[in-house]
Chain A
Amino acid sequence: MIDILIKNLPIIVVLCPLMTSLLVVLIPNIFFSWVLTTLSTFLTFLFSILLYQEIQIHSHISYALGKWMPPIGIEYIIDKVAIIPVIIISGISFIATIFAYKIMPEEIEKKSISKVYSLWLLAIAGLLGLVTTGDAFNLFVFLEISSLASVALVAMGAHKDRQALVAAYNYLIIGAVGATLYVIGVGLLYGITGTLNMADLTNRISDLNNNRALIAGFGFMIIGIMVKAAVFPLHIWLPRAYAYAPSAVSVLLAATATKASLYILARILFSIFENSENLINNTLLFVILPLSLLAMFAGTIMAIYEKDIKRLLAHSSVAQIGYITLAFAIGTKASMAAGFIHMFNHAIIKGGLFIAITSIGFYIKKRVTINNLSGLGREMPITFFCFVICSLSLAGLPLTAGFISKLYLIKASISSDDIWIAILILISSALSVVYLWKIIEVMWMHDGRKIAIKENPTIYVSLIIITFLNIYFGLDASLVVNGSFDAADKLIGDLK
């Protein structure tokens, strides 16, 4: 019994949220639809933990959909690399679902709540499918599932603020362009190789060095995924989408959506095209590296001048994505590991910050801008305390998860003789203290109107969980560090 379960796990983690999303629509009751969603995300999380344990033994689990053997049929693969985004997505979506319970009914029409949960699960299923599939075209399908579901979720914010519609429309159009570029790239590759299976593609590409169609296909795929991953300057859909989406949706998207695409980016660069070394090295050096450095500074500076806090956090996400792509761009084993470490840590950091800020929005019943925050730190000590810890983590101070990311990022850049990159990383993280301190100072030191606020346990429980994770992984990083180094090993192999 358990054997069969384990064999089928790669598809079960995708099917579990996908199937419940169809069920949830049928339940009109707010509470029960939430319970079902929580149950489903919890099960998914449990399955991904099982997968993690299984991966430690077998290091590779493959599932052939419909018993059509790859490379003909569609294959689902989980290896030591894919398990990282799977854990991130399933874990964060579970926490975000707990958080959604009280927040959702506040911001969305009562009658559409079960539909929102259905979309919510659909988005999660799409993201999980994205990272588990081993088929380049199937990946496009999941990309669209997750994108369309998230667009609809962002648009749900219109009940509170009509701006959400514009944000959703932007997201839809830009996302669709990205997906189209990706699928054109896949088409070109299919044209010259005759296969869609990723592992098979890798083998066949190795004979095709310097084929123009290959280079064009690669270009289309990379650009398409970079749009989805919000790599600077293709990030313009992101700040609006995060800022105007319903609170719980911002949390879910901020912590998971771009991570999945970043993982795909790494997979394309280092796995599918691993044999076209010249092409990859040039892309890393002349495209990804400069864009990442720009992102680090542009995102941070935009955040410093931003007044709307959700947008501020979104800009900071752009900068943080810059750190991750920077780690990819350095392209050594140590830097890839640093990238995965930061991918995980940034998910728990940004998740925590968004939960803290959106729950403040829930209490004060208006948009959270810097001026609305005065003195609130003393009114809601728990939320404020957690916000401060997550901020310290984002700035990369010791005892928090963020410190571990910075430590390995800097080590990777110094050990590949790029000391100037290490210096730029330090400058950019020092700048990030500026916008975080701005918020903390206003919340703690300024005197505001006295509003009696009673913090609600159902809201802060998820905040406390995620803050605890930030501290735990700052104190005992072995799990994340070892997992990331295993992943980097698998991805880069003996290449370098």
Chain B
Amino acid sequence: MITIENFILITILSPLIVCVLTPFISKNIILRDCLGPIGGVISSWGAFNIISSALNNQNTTLEIVKITEGVSIGFEITPLGAIFGLVASFLWIFAAIYSVGDMRGNKEKNQTRFYSFYAMAVHAALCIAYSGDLLTLFIFYEVLTFSTYPLVAHKQNEKAQKAGRLYLSILVGSSVILLLPGIIWVWVATGSLEISQNGVLDGKIDEAYAPLLLVMFVFGIGKAALIPIHTWLPAAMVAPTPVSALLHAVAVVKAGVFTMLIVLTNVFGIDFLAKTGASEWLIWLASFTLLATSIIAIYKDDIKARLAYSTISQLSYITLGGALATSMATQGAALHIITHATGKITLFFVAGALYVGSKITKVSELNGYGKGNPLIFLAFFIGSLSIIGIPPMAGSWSKFFLMLGAAESGYVVVIGVFCISTMLNAFYLLEIPARAFFLKNEREINFKIPKLILIPTLITSFITILLFFFIEPFQNLTFMIVSKI
């Protein structure tokens, strides 16, 4: 019988082992390319077991090293972490298969380095998911940034290097200048870095300072991509598509909003936020980000850029859900981590498939391509519906809870924001399948998509439908996030 502590180790260490092994077996290409999916299967096996233990309300902690009073490095299972861990490790299986197809299809150089850092990034994301305190969270937050830098700058041309530098300077700069001092502040105020289900700050910090501390956290977590620190995400789209798909739609950005939710629910506590109104400004900032980036997305002709702005907008849903500080909204935000991840990874997979298949990068070039390969556009259509929030796709659940939360909090305007944003989503996402299916193209359409790309894409789009019907365990988990002990 494997204990839950060991499952944590299995889940977080298997990507690390993949990362370390990959350079040593770079000669045997088949074996090297299989390593990622195998690691993903083992890792998500662990993550599934962790989910089931979290559902049974088991409290598992794993302390690695105690540094000094109230400062240690260790792991712990929280309901939110269990969800994020499962999302990151499970989608890694498909992203790993996909990346083999993508790397081969585009004949990229330095593939070994790519796979190695890719696994390293997944390792960091999983460590963030299961981190038991703010210091562990911070350390792996930085590891995630540094391990994705070589992936962003993978093509090593001038544009990629410039994007890589922007990526590093914004993410590292904001976290070191604001997030770390914020964490130290929490340590000074409470004497420990532990997080707890109901927040730790109530009664420990002067209520007048609470909004200031929240400012430090919100702008310190650059990965959550709120305006004005969102610019790294569109720039990072120079990376190969598997990076944009798994990391900049799932692991990295979700690590950002995950940290944001941890800060809002487990550090501040939603009751404390509701009582002091410390997060009211965040509601407006997130709403603004949500609408502004949706509008920008409409004007982007580049497919990946459009998806990037859509991602920023969707991340703001999650931040907004946390900031509303009601139990429904928090549940919706947590569910949105899963539903947006499955939907958006599908969309990015399709964008990459189009590039591998016929070097298309622009929306306006897509006319009539639906005939070339209807399946891939069907997948895109399903993913889009999920992101827009139409049943029977997974995304409808999270939007439903977010709307309820907005109503519960009394910010009626926010409901309006959600409605407008949904319409904008439909407008800029559905344009792509619409052009592909309904418009005609005079040129001959020559469009071949490798199986290693097509299959993962179809599976993830299928998962978005499946999730609609099997949302219950996740909903139970999100309910545990907001329920009091």
Contact = CB atoms under 8 A, between A and B. Distances in A.
Nearest to A441: B165
A407 interface: yes
Contacts of B69: 481
A415 B185 CA distance: 11
B181 A426 contact: yes
A448 interface: no
Contact of B67 (A404, A410, A426, A433): A404
Nearest to A406: B184
Contacts of A397: 142, 176, 180
Given A407-B71, A414-B188, A477-B68, A399 B139 contact: yes
Contacts of B181: 410, 426
> In this complex, which of A406, A407, A414, A478 has the most chain B Cβ atoms within 10 angstroms of its Cβ?
A407
B193 to A, nearest CB: 10
Contact of B68 (A404, A415, A426): A404
A476 B184 contact: no
A398 B181 CA distance: 11
Contacts, number: 43
B67 A474 contact: yes
In the complex, the 5 A-B pairs of residues with the closest C-beta atoms, listed nearest first: A477-B68, A414-B188, A411-B188, A426-B181, A481-B68
A433 B66 CA distance: 27
A410 B188 contact: yes
15 contacts: A397-B176, A398-B135, A398-B138, A404-B67, A404-B68, A406-B184, A407-B184, A414-B185, A415-B188, A430-B176, A477-B67, A477-B68, A478-B66, A481-B68, A481-B69
B136 to A, nearest CB: 9
Nearest to A415: B188
Chain B interface size range: 10 to 19
Interface string B122-143: 0000000000000100110010
Given A475-B65, A476-B65, A430 B177 contact: yes
Interface string B59-72: 00000011111010
Nearest to A482: B68
Scoring B66, B68, B69, B180 by chain A CB atoms within 10 A of each residue's CB, the highest score goes to B68
Interface string A408-421: 00110011000000
Contacts of B188: 410-411, 414-415
A250 B294 CA distance: 58
B176 A433 contact: yes
B176 A476 contact: no
Given A397-B176, A398-B135, A407 B187 contact: yes
**Size class of the contact patch on chain A:** 20 to 34
Nearest to B164: A445
Interface in A237-282: none
Nearest to A475: B65
A417 to B, nearest CB: 12
Contacts of B65: 475-476
A395 B135 CA distance: 16
A432 to B, nearest CB: 11
Contacts of A399: 139
B177 A478 contact: no
A476 B71 CA distance: 10
A478 B181 CA distance: 22
A53 B176 CA distance: 38
Interface in A445-496: 474-478, 481
A398 B137 CA distance: 11
Nearest to B64: A475
Given A410-B188, A411-B188, 8 more contacts: A398-B180, A404-B67, A407-B71, A411-B184, A414-B185, A433-B176, A478-B68, A481-B69
A378 to B, nearest CB: 14
Nearest to A427: B177
B286 to A, nearest CB: 26
A97 to B, nearest CB: 31
A475 B176 contact: no
Interface in B163-180: 176-177, 180
Interface in B141-175: 142
A475 B63 CA distance: 13
Nearest to A413: B188
B233 to A, nearest CB: 23
A318 to B, nearest CB: 23
Contacts of A398: 135, 138-139, 180
A94 B286 CA distance: 57
Contacts of A406: 184
A199 to B, nearest CB: 33
Nearest to A411: B188
Interface string B429-451: 00000000000000000000000
A440 to B, nearest CB: 11
Contacts of A481: 68-69
Nearest to A396: B180
A476 B67 contact: yes
A415 B73 CA distance: 24
Interface in B66-89: 66-69, 71, 73
Contacts of B142: 397
A434 to B, nearest CB: 11
A410 B184 contact: yes
A355 B68 CA distance: 28
Contacts of A475: 65, 67, 73
B68 A411 contact: no
A407 B192 CA distance: 12
B71 to A, nearest CB: 7
Contacts of B139: 398-399
Contacts of B176: 395, 397, 430, 433
Nearest to A481: B68
A426 B184 CA distance: 11
B133 to A, nearest CB: 11
A411 B67 contact: no
A345 to B, nearest CB: 12
Interface in B36-77: 65-69, 71, 73
A411 B177 contact: no
A433 B175 CA distance: 13
A397 B180 CA distance: 9
Contact of B187 (A411, A474, A476): A411
Which of B71, B135, B184, B187 counts the most A-chain CB atoms under 10 A from its CB?
A: B184
Contacts of B71: 407
Nearest to B169: A437
A439 to B, nearest CB: 16
A475 B73 CA distance: 9
Contacts of A415: 188
Contacts of B180: 397-398
